[in-house]
Amino acid sequence: MDNNTFLKEMGQKIRTARKAKKIPINEMAKLAKIDMSNLSFLERGEKNCHLLSLKSIADVLEMDVKDFL
């Protein structure tokens, strides 16, 4: 799998999990302590992220980082 495909699939998993928990993107960004525009880029698979940002997202969603891989 190429990098772009990987990022898009990971972003879709994050978005799906966030929507399943009914958390608006602005609230998710606030809870995860990351910029909303960065979260938006991540969900669309347009930007790579730091591992600790991914961990923060997973923590808010009560998931494990490996669930996004």
Give residue 14's pLDDT.
97
Query: Tens of pLDDT along 27-54?
Result: 999 999 999 999 999 999 999 989 999 9
The Cα angle at residue 62 between residues 38 and 66, in degrees rounded to 5: 75
Give residue 20's pLDDT.
98
The architecture CATH gives domain 3-60: Orthogonal Bundle (1.10)
Domain ranges within the chain, ordered by starting residue: 3-60
* pLDDT bracket for residue 22 (50, 70, 90): very high
